[in-house]
Each structure stands twice: as structure tokens, then as C-alpha cells.
């Protein structure tokens, strides 16, 4: 377990007792949520993200434990309250248990979450829970095994679903299932997922397909709008829930006759960016102010030196260049090649 310096003793404090207010940009948005990619490697070949699989190009190694420790200290001192570990597929890192424990350790961090494709969820969820994992998101794009295989490149749907069942057995009550509906592949799954949550205590979140520089034609042929799904839900008696203070941009809906909930992530909706509350750091240590922007700040020089104060300074100085919103409506996807590159 990391041994944090005595100088970092409470929320918003760092070396020499200097206080740091919670991160806030020029538009009044406050950032208490860090999405940290721990690897670009993914062992799935999802057709909307990595249709050719992960390409093992020559790239810097991902952040090591010491660098991640420094990063977490800095964000904790800046008021971060929630950390989500993402990828690629974070479970491809053998030290994921340790990373979860590290994320939970800094003063002020109240919630640690993980996004996974679930390939080893059943075997690993108990150890992740013991390490301190509070919440889990699992990507499941279809409840039909053959369809799941066509989308992901892996015929393991029963294994993934067994992992979700195991997580429920262990007491996880806030499991989120991420599904990207695609016009040519799984549009028929909408009603099947809705029927599934009638008896499953999970939240299925339909994520609107987002355009990246690698999927432009695929995007045009397969996008299904979140607003069209919302209209169908409202017609069936679903009502929108109040957002949790740590919640991301998803709109969640409940129904009195269903154990589970439905969520919608609609990046093309009006004012989607108005409630932005997260910052992203890539597995190489680059701070991304927007998933679909060009603004990147290289934090690694500070992380390599274990320089918490330098990292804090670099993060704070970057906020003024964060824009009010993305430009997806204009077909501009920024530097994002594919969603696996910085954790989506």
C-alpha cells in the first residue's frame, strides 16, 4: 500500500500546507471525477472501436505504480472524490488489484470504479472487491450470444453474464451495463435489454455511437440516436431519475415494475457538456480536457520525478484552455482515434 506523505493529510491540501480549491473551469464546471486509463491494450475486437484488434505499435509503457501514486496524490489534493480505472481493458494489467487499492487510498477519494469488458470478471471480482472496488461497469452489447460474438470478436457472453451474477452475489448493487446499439448489428436488442432489467438489479446504459477518426463510415451507417430511445421509454412509463452528485452524463430512468434501470448517454444532445465533471488521464500520463478535443497536457515529466506539487500546478494551469463543449455535431472528433485510446 502506498505511504502517502504526511503533508497530504486532508482534502485540498498538499506540501507545505498549501490549500488547493476544487478544480473549476472558466464556465463554472467543477471537476471531482478522474477517469484514469491504465492501459491501451484491449483483448476484444469490438467493431465500433477496435475492429482489427489492438495494434501493438511501438509506444511508451503505461504509467507504473509509482507514477500512478503521484498522480492520485495530486488529484486528491485538488478535490477529486471519484476515480474510475479504464482502458483499453484494465484487467489485462496483472497489478489491477494493487491499482484499485492505490486509487482508494489517497485522502478524500470516496469512490473507486472500474470499467471492464468482463472477460475475467467472475474469477477476479472478489479480489477487486477486497482491494476496495466500490462500483463496476461492464460492457455487454448484446444478450444474444452469436450477436455478442460478432460485435466483440469473442464468444464468451455466458462467461461475462456469470461474472455479473457473481458481482451481485458479492453485494454490488450499483452495477452498470454499457451497450452501444448499432443499426446494422444489434438494434433488436433494445427491448430485450429492457425485458432483462425487469428482474435484474442493474442499470443498462445505452451509449450513443460516437464518431472517431477511425470509424467515420461505420458511424454514418450505424448511429441510433439516444433521443429516439428516450421517446420509446417515456411511452412505456419510464421516468427520469435525479442525478447522483458523482454521476457522469448519463440520464437514468426507472419504472415501478422493474428491478433495474435504463440509462442513456447522448453526447449529441443539447447541453451535453454543460454538466461535465470529469477529467481524463491516458495510460501514458497525458491529461485530456475533453474526450473529443485536441488539448493534451503531458504530466509524465512530473510523475517520473514523483513531483506532486508540479503535477498539481500543471493540472491547474490547464483548466483555462478547456472549451465549453465538443464539436461532434460538426464532425470534428479531435485527436481521438478510437475510444480504447483514452478510456472512453
Burial zone of 192 (CB within 10 Å; 0-12 exposed, 13-18 middle, 19+ buried)? middle
Write out residues in the chain with pLDDT < 50, as ranges. Answer: 1-14, 16-17, 332
**Distance (Å, rounded) from C-alpha 102 to C-alpha 112?**
10
According to the model, what pLDDT value does residue 1 have?
Answer: 43
Torsion of CA 105, 108, 111, 113, to 10 degrees: -60
* C-alpha to C-alpha distances, 27 to 255, 277, 291, 315, nearest whole angstrom: 35, 12, 17, 17
| 88: nearest Cα among 31, 37, 30 | 37
Centroid of chain to Cα 39: 13
Asked if 19 and 67 touch (Cβ cutoff 8 Å), the reply is no
Paired with 265 in beta bridges are 207
According to the model, what pLDDT value does residue 37 have?
Answer: 96
According to the model, what pLDDT value does residue 60 have?
Answer: 85
Identify the structural domains of the chain with CATH numbers, from first to last: 15-341 (3.20.20.70)
Residue 240: strand, helix, or coil: strand
Contacts of 86 (CB under 8 A, 6+ apart): 35, 36, 37, 38, 114, 115, 343, 344
Asked if 139 and 118 touch (Cβ cutoff 8 Å), the reply is yes
Order of all β-strands in the sheet with 111-116: 239-240, 251-254, 261-265, 203-207, 176-179, 135-139, 111-116, 82-86, 33-37, 278-281, 286-288, 296-298
| 49: nearest Cα among 146, 153, 175, 145 | 153
| 309: nearest Cα among 4, 16, 11 | 16
- Please, what sign has the CA dihedral across residues 141, 142, 146, 147? negative
| Residues 41-62 pLDDT 10s | 999 999 988 888 888 776 789 9
According to the model, what pLDDT value does residue 290 have?
Answer: 78
- Please, what sign has the CA dihedral across residues 271, 276, 281, 283? negative
Contacts of 123 (CB under 8 A, 6+ apart): 163
| 200: nearest Cα among 161, 147, 170, 235 | 161
According to the model, what pLDDT value does residue 317 have?
Answer: 93
Torsion of CA 301, 307, 309, 310, to 10 degrees: -20
According to the model, what pLDDT value does residue 330 have?
Answer: 52
Asked if 116 and 90 touch (Cβ cutoff 8 Å), the reply is yes
Contacts of 221 (CB under 8 A, 6+ apart): 183, 184
| 282: nearest Cα among 213, 337, 227 | 337
| Residues 109-130 pLDDT 10s | 999 999 999 999 999 999 999 9
According to the model, what pLDDT value does residue 86 have?
Answer: 96
How many CB atoms are closer than 10 A to CB 126? 13
| pTM of the shown model | 0.89
Amino acid at each position: 500500500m502506498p505511504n502517502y506523505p504526511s503533508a497530504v493529510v486532508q482534502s485540498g491540501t498538499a506540501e507545505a500546507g498549501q490549500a488547493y480549491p476544487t478544480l473549476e473551469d472558466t464556465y463554472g464546471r467543477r471537476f471531482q471525477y478522474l477517469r484514469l486509463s491504465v492501459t491501451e491494450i484491449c483483448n476484444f475486437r469490438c467493431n465500433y472501436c477496435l475492429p482489427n484488434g489492438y495494434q501493438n505499435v511501438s509506444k511508451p509503457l503505461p504509467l507504473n505504480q509509482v507514477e500512478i501514486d503521484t498522480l492520485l496524490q495530486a488529484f486528491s489534493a485538488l478535490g477529486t472524490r471519484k476515480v474510475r480505472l479504464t482502458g483499453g481493458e484494465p484487467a489485462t494489467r496483472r497489478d489491477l488489484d494493487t491499482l484499485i487499492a492505490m486509487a482508494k487510498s489517497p485522502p478524500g477519494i470516496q469512490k473507486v470504479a472500474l470499467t471492464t469488458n468482463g472477460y475475467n470478471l467472475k474469477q477476479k471480482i472478489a479480489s477487486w472487491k477486497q482491494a476496495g472496488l466500490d462500483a463496476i461497469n461492464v460492457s455487454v452489447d448484446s444478450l444474444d450470444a452469436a450477436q455478442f460474438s460478432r460485435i466483440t470478436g469473442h464468444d464468451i457472453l455466458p462467461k461475462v453474464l456469470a461474472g455479473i451474477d457473481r458481482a451481485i452475489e458479492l453485494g454490488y448493487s450499483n452495477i452498470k451495463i454499457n451497450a452501444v446499439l448499432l443499426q446494422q448489428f444489434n438494434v433488436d436488442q433494445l427491448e430485450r435489454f429492457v425485458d432483462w432489467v425487469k428482474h435484474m438489479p442493474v442499470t443498462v446504459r445505452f451509449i450513443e455511437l460516437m464518431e472517431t477518426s477511425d470509424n467515420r463510415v461505420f458511424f454514418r451507417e450505424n448511429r441510433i440516436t439516444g433521443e429516439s430511445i428516450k421517446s420509446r421509454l417515456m411511452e412505456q412509463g419510464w421516468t427520469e431519475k435525479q442525478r447522483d452528485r458523482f454521476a457522469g452524463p448519463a440520464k437514468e430512468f426507472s419504472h415501478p415494475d422493474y428491478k433495474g434501470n435504463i440509462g442513456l448517454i447522448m453526447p449529441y444532445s443539447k447541453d451535453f457538456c454543460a454538466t461535465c465533471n470529469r477529467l481524463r488521464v491516458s495510460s501514458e500520463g497525458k491529461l485530456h480536457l475533453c474526450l473529443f478535443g485536441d488539448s493534451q497536457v503531458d504530466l509524465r515529466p512530473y510523475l517520473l520525478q514523483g513531483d506532486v506539487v508540479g503535477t498539481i500546478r500543471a493540472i491547474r494551469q490547464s483548466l483555462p484552455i478547456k472549451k465549453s463543449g465538443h464539436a461532434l455535431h460538426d464532425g470534428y472528433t479531435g485527436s481521438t482515434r478510437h475510444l480504447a485510446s483514452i478510456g472512453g
